[in-house]
Amino acid sequence: MMLNKRMYFLDNLKIFLTILVLAHHAGQPYGGSNGWWYFTTKDSPGLGAFFAVNAAFFMSLFFLISAYFVPASLERKGLGSYLRERFIRLGIPLIIGFFLLIPFSWPVINFGHLWFLQHLLIYSIIYAITQTFLLKPKNQNGNTQKPFPHIIKIFLFTAFVALITFIVRIWYPIDHWIGFLGFIQTEFAHVPQYVSFFIIGLTAAKHNWIVRIPKTIGLICIMIGFISSVILYSEKITTFQAGGFNIGSLQYSLFETFLCMGMCIGLIFLFQHILNKSSKLFQILSLNAFTVYIIHVPIVVILQYFAESIPVSAYFRFIFVIVLGILASFSISHFVIRKTPYLNKVF
């Protein structure tokens, strides 16, 4: 499938998700997530629901959007050129970002938020090799696109992913990170969702589903996502568990996966119908979103240390770090990194 028409709503959705990731990391020290490697503080305004809602969907949506462009890219470039481009686009930033993070995480050596690049690179390689050597391309005549899945099929698939998620979380609860194979930074609790939504993105590309979401399904999904988020923010349900073989973990696996499906489909539908447009500002933000995702953590950490000395509540520090983090990250990306020889060829 060839993607010829620019889908501005996906560009704008990636901007939104990138800013949400930055905000997520800006709030890590201020309560609800037990701090993080780089900076901790005694203040705790209770941002647990904010982190829970974000973690439930935003990285899965990143995987879906990223996967949507993989088949066309592989078809256009061929296996060799595609893999070379992936190693440049994902591998080099991964290495650069890793060395940027070491000073902030020492003596712990980790890839931090760049685990996403690791996984995306691995998933892309597996798909490219499988598609090239194992899956026989079929001669397709005319329009062979399948209709968008019925809402019942979506619910059944979501329940299946939730069940796999529950099984995985018996041994690997939420926020339990390991170095899979010694170097692949992995939180297995969310891997079933990540892999599933990557596959959804590949399938959506084949059948052009992203621009064919029925209005009824789009509205149902955004309502599921919104209502589920409100429930988490209300903090009324106290039986949810992060993992283990118990009813609380099963409940949360189901709840979180349906929230994820609702937000992913719902936000795509919403952005397509409300923000399928561009402007000079949106173009600049879109061009810099990938770089901002890579570089924002050191910037946010510096701001967190600086904000610690300001005699205001943690809420204000949180907002302060978000606002300045967005401005600084996009400015450094646009005016420095993307104008630096060699770096501008990668970023």
Domain ranges of the chain: 8-135+145-346
Name the residue among 56, 224, 68, 258 with its Cα closest to residue 156. Answer: 258
* Cα-based distances in Å from 196 to 51, 59, 149, 161, 253: 21, 12, 15, 7, 14
250 compared with 142, residue with greater pLDDT: 250
Contact 47, 27 (CB under 8 A): yes
3-state DSSP call for residue 31? coil
3-state DSSP call for residue 158? helix
3-state DSSP call for residue 256? helix
The gap from C-alpha 15 to its chain's centroid, in whole angstroms, comes to 11
> What is residue 35's predicted lDDT score, i.e. its pLDDT?
67
Between CA 158 and CA 107 the distance in angstroms is 40
Instruction: Report, in angstroms and rounded to the nearest whole number, the Rg of the chain calculated over CA atoms.
Output: 20
Res. 3 pLDDT band, cuts 50 70 90: low
Res. 296 pLDDT band, cuts 50 70 90: very high
Say what the pTM is.
Answer: 0.94
* pLDDT tens, position by position, 198-235: 999 999 999 999 999 999 999 999 999 999 999 999 98
205 Cβ contact partners less than 8 Å away, ≥ 6 residues apart: 1, 3, 67, 68, 69, 70, 71, 72
* pLDDT tens, position by position, 118-145: 999 999 999 999 999 987 655 555 457 8
Res. 193 pLDDT band, cuts 50 70 90: very high
